[in-house]
Amino acid sequence: MATVTKDTTSKPAGPTNGRDNRSGSGVGDSRRAAAGPRAPTERRPGGQDKRPAEPKMVELPDQVTVRDLATLINVSPINVIRELMNNGVMANINQQLDFDTAAIVVSSFGYEAKPKQIAIPTPVSEESLIDASAGPASPAKPTTLRQRLLAKEAADMRERRPPVVTVMGHVDHGKTSLLDAIRKTNVAAGEAGGITQHIGAYQVEHEGRKVTFIDTPGHEAFTAMRARGAQITDIAVLVVAADDGVMPQTKEAISHARAAQVPIIVALNKIDKPNANPERVKKELAENGLTPDDWGGDTMVVPVSAKQRKGIDDLIEAILLVAESMDTIRANPDRPAVGTIIESQLDKSRGPMATVLIQNGTLNLGDSVVVGSVPGKVRAMFDFRGHRVKKATPSMPVSILGLSDVPSAGDILEVMEDDRAARALAAQRSAAKAKEMGPARATTLDEFFAQAKAGKARKLLLIVKADNDGSLQPIVDSLMRLNTPDAEVSLEIIHRGIGGITEGDVELAVASGAVILGFEVEMDTAARRKAELNKVDIRTYDVIYKLIEDVELALKGLLAPKIVKRTVGSAEVKQTFKISKVGMVAGVVVRSGVAQRNAQGRVLRSGKEIYSGKIGSLKRLTEDVQEVRQGFECGVSIEGFADFKPGDVIEFFVEEEQRLV
């Protein structure tokens, strides 16, 4: 058998185009012959092959996992991971990819990516919720959010829901005690100053039927909060003390309930007191437009004693009786939820939390939501007892976790199609809000005093921080009411916020010359040191009317000086030892400032103060000294304290007088 060998040393003259022109063609032709006839290829004018088809389009969201991306383009996730590796990206099957990265991957599989279009729904508003089909002959337009939502539902989708009741009235007339009797819990004992500081929502069951109660605060500083409570309620219970009668805040509560167009039931409390005079109170109620039913009027007046738990069942039965007569206490549970934020706060361990009252639909665990301009996803829900729940039906109050920020009380919660739709609507609202807000005009304390001496208009700048929005808003409203046209001194709130007083708040106060007011909040160590260094006035309170009173007195120039603590140095405990006639001594290194013998000391452990007292002794080696500067070691004792531990920080401070203005 002959063997054909190719001469690699010389080639025949003439063009060959890389092919052997001899008979039999060669290896390439043999392979083509074995493969069968080749299909004709359509060629471009330049001689290049035309692609058989245009790339297919695929819609991609902002974020997509490797698994979901593989499903979208109908390939194996392994192939997607391999393509990512070819582009220098190491990813697993659950890795989130952004749009640009995903677009590069799909292009290698013959796809062209385009952003997924998100249809932003029309935000919930008064105009959009009013039934446009209501003609001139229709009943009065719906007023509350619940009624507006109900107007959009078909008649066969409306089901009865628990009535929502707001408890209102004058301070000390026993609103919280009444709810305490209804819930059989003790809330009032834990409230600062004996006054309810925050809105709370609770559900009780009576003979198989549920009633939702909203407890609004009693002090006049919470006028705005009380009004908001009336707007989301079906029935208002007005608590009036039988031994006191109709008071100014009672009249305010009546006005708010009437503005919300809700029926009023009067709970005549404290009937057990010897000086109770129900008939006199009924006369005062009639003079304010609430004629008792036993006087021929239409206002139910129920005698109760919260202290002795008398008349509680009668009150709940009256509420249910009024609710049965109202056809508007209905909702459609088979739709995405819409609700109103009652209370919001920033929890140190859980993050932003909000209490929402569901007004229509059902809120489920995992729902994507937007609250005002705050997006989020419901990661956990708790009822008023703190128990985890998976869904919340109409009229049910729940606390939710999963929001990206703390919303404002009164904001509307809406369930969205997905996370992207929630973020898009929140961004749209944030942009609109930022456009409306103008820059705050600031001044300094030096300018403030200079203007005062010159007899010109003066303005006190304030930064207000509170533990939750339910307290923040009424504080702000009450402070702004102190501004009167004839006042020599006015005030301006340049910043308000929820949570503890931070270093950023102090920096703003330094730049603007503002005073920081805190309600039920703490201040971190960095903020305190910066405030002391820059002599920023920070005042904290646990009773709101005391805060308002101090500011009012400050505006009038009558406020007494405040004793403030100024830090002069800090030291770290390295070891402890006991000295006879002295007691337990901490061996420390002065880290900043000066350790002073005539100062006081606060002991910080893990950033929290555990003790504060007078410095007992300060020794350098074996000698008593008046001060020890930064970088040196010394021994320190504090009167009444012996539980030093290595790592503790001792801050040395002195007390000084400081005026608000």
How far is residue 91 from each of residues 148, 348, 388, measured CA to CA in Å? Answer: 49, 33, 35
- Could you tell me whether strands 623-624 and 608-620 are parallel, antiparallel, or unpaired per DSSP bridges? antiparallel
Query: pLDDT higher for 419 or 40?
Result: 419
C-alpha angle 638-641-647 in degrees, rounded to nearest 5 = 85
Closest CA to 655 of 574, 562, 576, 571: 562
413 band by pLDDT with thresholds 50, 70 and 90:
very high
199 band by pLDDT with thresholds 50, 70 and 90:
low
Query: pLDDT higher for 522 or 442?
Result: 522
Alpha helices, DSSP H, located in 455-581: 469-480, 503-512, 525-534, 544-555
3-class DSSP state of 480: helix
Q: Which fold has domain 445-559?
A: Rossmann fold (3.40.50)
What percent of the chain has a predicted confidence (pLDDT) above 90? 22
* Tally of CA atoms within 13 A in the half-sphere of 3 that contains its CB: 2
State the average pLDDT over residues 144-161: 70
pLDDT in tens, 220-235: 434 454 444 556 788 8
Q: Look up the CATH superfamily of 564-658.
A: Translation factors (2.40.30.10)
262 in Cβ contact with 238 (< 8 Å)? no
pLDDT in tens, 304-324: 998 888 899 899 999 999 999
Would you say the C-alpha torsion 62, 65, 66, 72 has a positive or negative sign? negative
Q: How far apart are CA 171 and CA 468, in angstroms?
A: 21
Residue 629 CB-density burial (10 A; 0-12 exposed, 13-18 middle, 19+ buried)? exposed
pLDDT at 126 over 50: no
Q: Do domains 445-559 and 564-658 have the same CATH topology?
A: no
pLDDT at 16 over 80: no
Q: How far apart are CA 608 and CA 416, in angstroms?
A: 41
Helix 66-73 crosses helix 99-107 at what angle (to 10 degrees)? Answer: 40
Q: Which residues of 364-393 are buried (b: 16+ CB within 10 A; e: fewer)?
A: ebebbbbbbbbbbbbeebbbbeeeebebbb
Q: Whole-number mean pLDDT of the chain?
A: 77
Helix 77-86 crosses helix 99-107 at what angle (to 10 degrees)? Answer: 100
User: Please, which contacts does 436-443 make with residues 24 or more away whose CB atoms are closer than 8 Å?
Assistant: 440/492, 440/494, 440/495, 441/492, 442/494, 442/511, 442/512, 442/513, 442/514, 443/512, 443/513
- Residue spans per domain, the chain: 56-115, 162-328, 331-436, 445-559, 564-658
Structural class in CATH, domain 162-328:
alpha beta
pLDDT in tens, 445-499: 344 444 544 555 467 888 999 988 888 888 988 888 887 665 566 788 888 888 8
Pick the CATH number of 331-436 from 2.40.37.10, 1.25.40.10, 2.40.30.10, 3.40.640.10: 2.40.30.10
State the average pLDDT over residues 550-577: 78
